[in-house]
Amino acid sequence: MQLPTSTLAALFASLVFSSFAAAAPTAELDNNGGPVVDLGKYGKFLGTVQNNGTVHSWKAVPYAAPPVGDLRFKAPRSLPTQNSTIQDVSQDFPGHITACVQFGTTSFVGVNASPGTEDCLKLWIWAPAKAKAGDKLPVVVYTHGGGLQNSQSPNNDFSDMVGQDGGFIAVNANYRLGLLGHWNSVASRDEGEPGNLSLLDGRFAVDWVHKNIAQFGGDPNNIAIQGQSGGGGAIMSQLVLYDGKKPNYQKAIPRSNQNYAAYKIEDLTPRNDAFAKLVNCTDSASTKEGAAKQLACMRSLPAETIRLAAVNFSRTAQPNGYSWPGWLPSVDGETLTDQPIRLFNQGKIAKVPVLTGDVTNEFGQLNPHPNGNFTALVNSTIGPAVTPDFIAEMERIYPAPIANASLDTNTYATEDNRGWTFMNEYSFNGAAFAIARAAKKAGLPSFYYRFNAPQTQKYPAYYGASHSADNWHLQNATSEMNATEKAVAYEWRAYISSFIKHSDPNTARLASSPEWQQFNPTYRYAPRLLVQQQLAASANLSAPTGTGMELVPTNEWDRLALWTSEEVIKMTKQ
C-alpha cells in the first residue's frame, strides 16, 4: 500500500498541535468588560479578556460566506453584509461547532472535539489588551496543522505568546479540510472554479485581515503568514500559489512543512470516480456530462455522509495495490501550475522574506517504529512510480544498522533511526531545504533552522526532539514549563516575533542569543540555526540555552539535494 498521500496525511492529521490579541480597537467595552469591535459591513463583535488581562481575543469571527449548498466545492465567497447587532464571539464555541469537517481520523481531539461542520470559515484573533486602532502593530496569520485533514484554529492558542510579547497581533483561520478542501475535479474546472480550496480559504482569510485588522490595532501592510506541519505545507504552497505572483502578505514562516504528492487534476478522475461510487454518485467524470452530474450529486450529499465514506475509502486501494492519492492540493494549472518543489526549483516563489526549518526527528512520534523491512518502506512510501534502481539507491544512502554507528559515517544504530531519517527527509526536510534555497537564490532574506529541543513531558526521550516540539515551545503556556524548557521557549519566541515584526529574527532577539546567519545556496554549504536546550555537560553554563549555528552535514546536504532533484520529484510528484 502506498503511504505518501493518504496514509501519511492521516499520520500528520492524527496530531493536533497546541498553544496574539485585539484590544478594544474602538476603545469600547461591554458592561462586563469585554472588548467590542465594529467592523462595519463585516459585523460587530464582542470578544473576551485572556492571559491575566494582557490579551483581548475574538473567537470564531466569520471571514467568508458558509461554503454550503451550491457553494460546496467552490472558491470562497465574500461574507454577506452583517447587521449592527453585536455578535458574541467571546468563547471558542458559542453554542455550536465551528471546526471544519474532519477527515483522516475517527478520533477527534482538541478543543470541543467533533466531526465538524461546513459552516466553518471563521478566524480567531489575539491582540495586546492595550492595542487600539492606529497602532499599526505587525500581524501574523497562522494556518493550523493536522495533515490538511483535521484539527482547528483554537487548538493553537496564541494568548500566552501575544500576552508576553505585547508587540504584535495573531490571527488563526480555519480552512476546508480533506475531501471538502481538495475534491479537485475536472467538473469544477469546467464550471470555471479553481482547485485547492483549502489554500484559497487561507488566502481569502489574509484578504479579510488586510481589510479589517487596522480596527484591532494591526498594520495591514505588515502581515506574516505562518503554519506548521500540514499548516507548514499550506504556507509552502502559498509561496508558489499563482507562481508566486501578487502575494497578499509580506513574509512567510513555513515550519515542519508537510510535503505531498501533487497530482494533475485530470489524473485524479479514477480516484474521484471510485469514491463517488461509494456514495451512489454513479456517473463517471471521464466525460463532461458525467463529470457535471457527479459533481451535482456530490453537492447534494450530507457532509457527514461524505466524511464517513472518506474513512472507509482510506481503507481501499487502487487496482495496482497502492493507496489512492490523498485529499491534498493538486496541480490545477491555475492556483498551482506544477508540483511545489519544481516551482521552487524554477524560482517561482513569492518575493518575501522566509524563515523555515524542521524538528530533528519529525517522525519519532508520528511513527515510533517504521517498517523494519526497509525495502518495503521505500516501496510503499514512494508509490507506483518507484523503480528497483531507486530502491537500491535508497538502501545504499540509508544503510542498514551497524554497531558503532555515527553521523560522520552516515550510518544508523537501529532500524528505527534508519526509517526515521528516510521518512523525515522525504516528508519534511526536503521541503524546507527547497524553500530556503529558492528564497536565497531569488535574493530574498532566508533563515533556516533545526529545532532540537525535545518535548520531554509528553514523549519518550528515545524520540529526541520530535514533530511539534517547536510548536509546544512557541505556543504553550510557559507556566507549564520547567526552567530549561522556558529558556528555549523565550529564545525561540523572540526569534519568531522579531521576524514577524522586522522580517529578521535578529533585530529583536534576546541579548544572550547568537546571531542567526542566513541560508547559503552554495554547494554543500548551508548554515542553519540549531535550537536546543542547555546541556548539563556544557562548558558554558552561563548561556541559558545550547543554541548556535551549524552547517548542514555533507551527507545530509547531498540527500536533501537528491530529494529535491528533478529525477526524484518526477517520481514522487512533490
Active-site residue set = 229
In angstroms, the CA 312 to CA 304 distance is: 13
Contacts of 494 (CB under 8 A, 6+ apart): 508, 509, 510, 513
Which residues are paired to 128 by β-bridges? 55
460 to each of 364, 368, 483, how far by Cα in Å? 9, 10, 19
Neighbours of 82 (CB within 10 A): 15
CA 435, CA 381: separation in Å to the nearest integer?
A: 22
Dihedral sign for Cα 558, 564, 567, 568, please: positive
Distance from C-alpha of 105 to C-alpha of 350, rounded to nearest angstrom: 33
Closest by CA position to 177, among listed 192, 208, 155: 155
Answer for the pair 527, 517: CB distance below 8 angstroms, yes or no. Answer: yes
188 burial (CB, 10 Å; 0-12 / 13-18 / 19+) is buried
- Distance between CA atoms of 422 and 367, rounded to whole angstroms? 12
User: 530 near 550, Cβ under 8 Å?
Assistant: yes
Q: Which three cell numbers stand for residue 358?
A: 524542521
Checking phi first, is residue 7 left (phi over 0); if not, alpha (psi -120 to 50) or beta?
Answer: alpha
Q: Which residues pair with 551 in a beta bridge?
A: 527
Neighbours of 67 (CB within 10 A): 23
Which residues on neighbouring strands pair with residue 86, listed in sequence order?
44
Would you say 224 and 100 are in contact if contact means Cβ atoms under 8 Å apart? no
Helix H segments across 357-454?
363-366, 374-382, 388-397, 415-424, 430-441
What amino acid is encoded at 501 in this protein? K
Tally the C-alpha atoms within 13 A of residue 98's C-alpha that lie toward its C-beta. Answer: 24
What does the alpha-carbon distance between residue 435 and residue 253 come to, in Å, rounded to a whole number?
A: 10
C-alpha cell at 155: 487548538
- Provide DSSP, 315-331: T---TTSSPPPPS---B
Do residues 378 and 386 lie in contact, with contact meaning Cβ atoms separated by under 8 Å?
yes
Distance between CA 190 and CA 230 in Å, rounded? 28
CA–CA distance, 126 with 395 (Å, rounded to integer): 48
CB 471 within 8 A of CB 455: no
Name 358's bridge partners: 450
Which grid cell sits at 563? 530529494
